[in-house]
């Protein structure tokens, strides 16, 4: 039998270049006349434009900001009817406001308004339910109702019959491996459940443990390595579906569960194998 495989899940530094510029200033004492000559020249050099009393410069044109025209809303848009979602949102907001006001300030007037709002909602819901039922009766595309007690009973019978057929197919190719521990009380309680299940649906069953001991009416195998592979966490008991032809193992129970729960797990295993085309 194939052992399941265990998987053990186990800056560019930037340099900065700093540049320094040292400027030396030489003190000068120019005469007043020289200052009058140098000042206009310095201003021209700094601005790049001729300035001073000898030059005429046109004033910069003043740009008048255009005033934004108000967006014109067409009369059709202003009179557009509200959608059902918008109308419902407004109704819900009004209902919440009326109810909150009645709860916070329970005067006769406020409570009366809250009660009337509540009654209006209940009445509207009743009308909706009535129309829904009539629509289901008139609509030919409505699926057949399978929720009645009689329909559910028939559905359960069909499901049980299908499960019985699946179990017969499964027992022809799969057996059961019961992983247990001698001093595990849950294993001793679960063993009779597994044996009854195996006898009822004609499954071969074999016990597997790391030590001595077995259960009456069950053949057991002592293999510590196999137990550690199938049960690495050491949680007992475990139950597997095993296919000796393909060496495939499918877990169907972890811990002590009822036969009903076990049957439910096997049902999903059958569906999985059928979807994979491995059970026919």
**Residue of 201, 199, 232, 194 whose CA lies nearest to 215:** 194
203 near 175, Cβ under 8 Å? yes
Spatial distance between the Cα atoms of 258 and 256, rounded to a whole number of angstroms: 7
Whether this prediction's pTM lies above 0.95 is answered by no
Q: Which residues contact 66 (CB under 8 A, 6 or more apart)?
A: none
241 near 170, Cβ under 8 Å? yes
Spatial distance between the Cα atoms of 238 and 266, rounded to a whole number of angstroms: 14
Beta-carbon count within 10 A of 98 CB:
18
95 near 117, Cβ under 8 Å? yes
One digit per residue, the tens of pLDDT, for the chain of length 280 reads: 443 332 222 222 232 322 323 333 334 444 443 344 344 444 444 445 555 444 445 555 656 555 665 565 556 666 788 899 999 999 999 999 999 999 999 999 999 999 999 999 999 999 999 999 999 889 888 787 777 788 888 888 988 899 999 999 999 999 999 999 989 999 999 999 999 999 999 999 999 998 888 888 888 999 889 998 888 888 899 999 999 988 899 999 999 999 999 999 999 999 999 998 888 7
Alpha helices in the chain (DSSP H): 32-47, 75-78, 84-104, 108-138, 149-173, 185-200, 224-230, 259-275
Spatial distance between the Cα atoms of 171 and 199, rounded to a whole number of angstroms: 11
For the chain, helix (H) and strand (E) counts, in that order, are: 8, 5
């Amino acid at each position: 039998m194939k052992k399941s495989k265990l998987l053990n899940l186990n800056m560019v530094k930037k340099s900065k270049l700093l540049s320094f510029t040292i400027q030396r200033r030489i003190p000068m004492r120019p005469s007043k006349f020289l200052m009058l000559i140098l000042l206009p020249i310095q201003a021209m050099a700094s601005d790049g434009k001729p300035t001073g009393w000898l030059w005429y410069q046109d004033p910069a044109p003043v740009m008048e900001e255009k005033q934004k025209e108000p967006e014109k809303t067409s009369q059709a848009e202003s009179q557009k009817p509200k959608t059902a979602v918008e109308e419902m949102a407004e109704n819900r907001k009004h209902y919440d406001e009326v109810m909150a006001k009645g709860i916070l300030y329970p005067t006769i007037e406020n409570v009366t308004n809250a009660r009337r709002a509540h009654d209006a909602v209940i009445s509207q819901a009743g009308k909706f339910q009535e129309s829904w039922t009539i629509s289901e009766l008139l609509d030919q595309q409505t699926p057949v109702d399978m929720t009645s007690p009689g329909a559910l009973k028939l559905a359960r019978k069909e499901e049980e019959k299908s499960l019985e057929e699946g179990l017969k197919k499964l027992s022809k190719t799969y057996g059961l491996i019961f992983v247990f521990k001698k001093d595990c009380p849950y294993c001793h309680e679960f063993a009779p459940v597994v044996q009854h299940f195996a006898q009822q649906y004609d499954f071969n069953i074999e016990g597997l443990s790391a030590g001595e001991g077995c259960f009456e009416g069950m053949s057991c195998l002592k293999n510590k390595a196999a137990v550690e592979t199938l049960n690495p966490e050491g949680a007992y008991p475990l139950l597997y579906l095993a296919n000796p032809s393909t060496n495939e193992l499918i877990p169907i129970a972890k811990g002590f569960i009822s036969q009903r729960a076990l049957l439910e797990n096997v049902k999903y295993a059958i569906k999985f194998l059928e979807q994979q085309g491995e059970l026919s």
